[in-house]
Amino acid sequence: MEPRNRKQQMGFLSQFQTCFWTIILFLFMVLNCHVNEAALVLPKNVTVTAVFVFGDSIVDPGNNNNLPTIAKGNFLPYGRDFKDGPTGRFSNGKVPSDLIAEEFGVKGLVPAYLDPKTQLQDLLTGVSFASGAAGYDPLTAKTANVIAMSGQLELFKECIKKIKGAVGEERAATIISKAIYIVCTGSNDISNTYFSTPFRRPHYDINGYAEFNARYANQFLQDLYGLGARRIGLLGLPPIGCVPSQRTIGGGKNRDCYEAENQLAIAYNAKLSGVIDSLKAVDTLPDTKFIFLDIYYPLLSLIQNPAKYGFEVATKGCCGTGLIEASVFCNPTSIPLSCPDASKYVFWDGYHPSEKAYKILVPIIINKHLNEFF
C-alpha cells in the first residue's frame, strides 16, 4: 500500500502545484489589467500605444535638471507628496502628463526623456520632452536657457530613431501613429517675455503677439505631423494673470488678477484654436486628429469657486509665503513657511497648480474631448 499512497501523494502534490501556479497567473493578470486599465472608456477597437509630451514646466518631469538654468524643481519642497520625492516636476506630486497617460491607460508616470534613469523600454510607451520656462516664442526659451520647442522636436527625432532600432520600422510606425501627443506651452511667453522684457511689446500689441506665436504653434504642429503624429491635443493657456505670482506682480495692493495678462491669454487661445481649426480643414493632413483643449475656464472655475472643489485657498500657493515663490525660489528654505496640506490649495507654488488641482482638471478636459482623439 505504501507505493500507492506515495503515488497518490505525488499526484496530489502535482495537482496542487498546477492549481497554485494557475491562481498566481490569474492574480498577476488581474493586477496587471488593473494597473493598466484606462480610467476612460475608449472607443471599440481603439489602441493608445504611448503618450508623448512637449511644452513647459506644467508637463516637464525633469528635463531641465541638468541644464544651466534657474527653471528647475528637483529639490524639496517640490515632490513633497510624490512617491519618488523631487524629480524635477514643478509640483508637490504628479503633473498633467502623468495623469493624462494614466487616463488613457498607458502608464502611471511619463518620464523625462533626458533623465539618465529613463530606459529604452520607457520610450516605447512615451516620454516627455517638455522644458520648464519654454514657449512658442523662440526668445522665451533662449532667455531662460532651456529647450526651445524646436529643440524638443529634435529630441523626438532622436527618440524615434531609438525606437526604430529597438523594435523595427513597422512596429515603430504603429507606436508613433497610435500614440497620443500633448502640447502644452505659451504661459511663459506672456509672463516672462511679453510683460517682463522690453523685446516684444514695442513691436506687438496683444493681438499681434498672439498671432506671432500662433504661427510658431502652427509650424510646430505640422512638423509633429511630419514625424508621424496623428492624435495631437493642444492645451490652451490658463488664466495666467490669476496665478499667485502674477497677482503679486500685477494685481495691485489687493492682489487681484493681472487682467492684462489674462486678456493676452484669451487672445492667444483664440489664435491657437484658430490654428487647430485651420489644420483640420487642410486636405494634406489626412487621418489626423487635432484637438484644442481649453484649460482657461476650467482652472478659472477652481480659482473662483475653490470650496466647490474642496479647496480652501486659491490666491496663494502652498510653498513658502505663497505670494511669489516658484522654481529656485521655492526651495528648502521655504519649507518652514509652507502649508502642511497642499490638497487645500489650488496652487502648489506661485505659478503651478497643486497635484489635487491637476487631478480635478485633467479628467474634466480629457473626458470632454475624448471622442475627438479617435
Question: What's the whole-number mean pLDDT along residues 265-291?
Answer: 95
Can you give the pLDDT at residue 31? 38
Work out the pLDDT band at 25, boundaries 50, 70, 90. Answer: very low
Task: Tell me if the bond preceding 202 is cis, omega within 30° of 0.
Answer: no
C-alpha distances (whole Å) from 345 to each of 68, 240, 303, 318, 324 are 31, 17, 10, 6, 15
Task: Report the C-alpha gap between 183 and 217 in whole angstroms.
Answer: 9
Can you give the pLDDT at residue 260? 98
Phi/psi of residue 223, each to 5°? -65, -40
- The catalytically annotated residue of 56, 81, 115, 349 is 349
Residue 19: pLDDT over 70:
no
Residue 273 in grid coordinates: 484654436
- The catalytically annotated residue of 56, 57, 91, 294 is 57
* Overall residue count recorded for the chain in this entry: 374
189 is catalytic: no
Residue 10: pLDDT over 80:
no
Residue 26 in grid coordinates: 490569474
Residue 74: pLDDT over 50:
yes
Lowest mean pLDDT among 13-17, 115-119, 247-251: 13-17
Q: What is the mean pLDDT of the chain?
A: 92
Residue 6: pLDDT over 70:
no
Would you give the distance in Å from CA 312 to the centre of its chain? 25
Task: Report the C-alpha gap between 305 and 299 in whole angstroms.
Answer: 10
Going along the chain from its start, the domains and CATH numbers come out as: 43-372 (3.40.50.1110)
Would you give the distance in Å from CA 52 to the centre of its chain? 9
Dihedral sign from CA coordinates of 46, 113, 172, 25:
negative
Task: Report the C-alpha gap between 237 and 208 in whole angstroms.
Answer: 16
Question: What's the whole-number mean pLDDT along residues 174-183?
Answer: 98
Question: What's the whole-number mean pLDDT along residues 108-121?
Answer: 97
34 is catalytic: no
Can you give the pLDDT at residue 43? 82
Can you give the pLDDT at residue 34? 39
Question: What's the whole-number mean pLDDT along residues 361-367?
Answer: 96
Question: What's the whole-number mean pLDDT along residues 330-344?
Answer: 98
pTM: 0.90
Can you give the pLDDT at residue 5? 52
Can you give the pLDDT at residue 2? 47
Count CA atoms within 13 Å of residue 187 on its CB side.
26
Work out the pLDDT band at 42, boundaries 50, 70, 90. Answer: confident
Task: Report the C-alpha gap between 272 and 251 in whole angstroms.
Answer: 26
The position carrying cell 503633473 is 95
Work out the pLDDT band at 186, boundaries 50, 70, 90. Answer: very high
369 is catalytic: no
